[in-house]
Amino acid sequence: MVEDSIFLKSLRGEEIPRFGVWLMRQAGRYMPQYRQLRAKARDFLDFCQNPTLATEVTLLPEKLLGVDALILFSDILVPLIPLGVEVKFLPQKGPVLKAPPPEEWKDFEPSEVEYVFETIKRVKYLSEKPLIGFSGAPYTLAAYILEGETSRDFREIRKLYYQNREKFHFILSKLTQMLKTYLSEQIKAGADALQIFDSWAYTMSPQMFAEYLPYVEDIAQFLKEEAPQTPIIYFFRGSGHLYQIAGQKLKSVDCFSIDWTLRIEKALEGFKNKAIQGNLDPTVLYADKKTIERSVIELLTEVSKNRKTLYVFNLGHGLAPDMEMEKVKHLVDTVKSFYL
Ligand code: CP3
């Protein structure tokens, strides 16, 4: 039963024999099997919109890595398309977006991204593993929309915050509304947990972050009322300077997924009754196997001194295309052989 999985038990604070593990971008270009499937699609968006391919990709890490949870294969930018935002993924450049003014956005119609829910249903039919659904967080999505492409410091959304606070809030509330529907439809389709990705949270000042977080709390609260059993995970980069505010403002979030800018001791202290996920610097995967092993054990030892559940292993951010699969597998195996 999926309910008895290490991943879900750990998020609920129940007793577990070892910490669970999954990795962000676990099905990605570093995997030869991913590249093979990817070659069957016209482009990346077509890949996400084809439930047959998306299902196969989602399932790859179960057999190839032995992870404890699967994550839906899609992208955070996908649900912007029904709003009327044009989204393209250019091979060298990454995503490129063109959005109409927010007053002209269409109401989010979930049937326009039926392929996402269809993929969830198919994965649930084919695998016993817990399946994580996801979305971007309002800030990270707004940052992309205003910038039109990826960026080092996402100045456009921050400029808007100071130039036109009302518009800043209007965009965030529009996105929040869409995300409630989108995520609740993922639960209905069968997602066992949800992760909200705030990859660009680190570009915010603590004041701005505090003013913004009620949108994330609103989404989490809404979902907790609809589906109290489904854990909500909030991933935010910039945990080092933002974790205390996140802890204060996000009462309805079950798990905080942190990057490597925060000492694990601080996280354990700061998120006392909440689950924690992540923390290891992903670039450790460029080192030799012994170093990888030592880093994992060091982290897990520190966590296990403080708690024996309410922790899920992950990296501080996603796997990169130039990482070696053998080392990724070794990382997963190391976590799985650490008994509590
Ligand atoms: O974690 C997973 O394995 C699930 C699938 C997933 C993808 N993107 C697949 C993907 C998830 C959860 C995402 C989320 C996502 N997408 C985020 C938040 C997490 C993060 O990484 O910070 C962001 C910021 C995006 C936006 C995005 N999508 C970028 C910046 C890029 C291009 C960068 C790159 O790696 O090329 C993408 C494309 C993308 N999304 C790829 C994958 C596997 C690579 C596309 C390809 O196969 O060519």
Task: Write the residue with the smallest CA distance to atom 1 of ligand 1.
Answer: 25
State percent of the chain over pLDDT 70.
Answer: 100
**Cβ density class 225-247: b for 16+ within 10 Å, e for less:** eebeebbbbbbbbbbeebbebbb
pTM, rounded to two decimals: 0.97
Instruction: Show which residues are catalytic.
Output: 25, 29, 38, 75, 144
Integer CA distances (angstroms), 72 to 17, 83, 125, 242, 302, in order? 26, 21, 13, 27, 30
Task: Write the residue with the smallest CA distance to atom 20 of ligand 1.
Answer: 199
Asked if pLDDT for residue 129 goes beyond 90, the answer is yes
- 274-309 confidence digits (pLDDT tens): 999 999 999 999 999 999 999 999 999 999 999 999
Alpha-carbon distance of 301 to 312, in angstroms, equals 13
Asked if pLDDT for residue 60 goes beyond 90, the answer is yes
Q: Where are the domains of the chain?
A: 2-336
CA of 44 to the centre of ligand 1 (A): 10
User: Is the CB–ligand 1 distance for residue 148 below 6 Å?
Assistant: no
Q: Per-residue pLDDT averaged across 172-191, rounded?
A: 98
- 246-281 confidence digits (pLDDT tens): 999 999 999 999 999 999 999 999 999 999 999 999
Strand partners, 222: none
Task: Write the residue with the smallest CA distance to atom 3 of ligand 1.
Answer: 25
* Predicted pLDDT at 92: 87
Q: Per-residue pLDDT averaged across 161-173, rounded?
A: 98
Ligand 1 atom index nearest CA of 61: 3
Sort residue 85 into left (φ over 0), alpha (ψ -120 to 50) or beta. beta
User: Is the CB–ligand 1 distance for residue 151 below 6 Å?
Assistant: no
Write down the mean pLDDT value for the chain: 98
User: Is the CB–ligand 1 distance for residue 202 below 6 Å?
Assistant: no
Alpha-carbon distance of 292 to 323, in angstroms, equals 13
CA of 14 to the centre of ligand 1 (A): 31
Q: Per-residue pLDDT averaged across 86-94, rounded?
A: 93
Q: Per-residue confidence at 99, pLDDT binned at 50, 70, 90?
A: very high
**Candidates 2.40.50.140, 3.40.50.300, 3.40.1160.10, 3.20.20.210; CATH matching 2-336:** 3.20.20.210
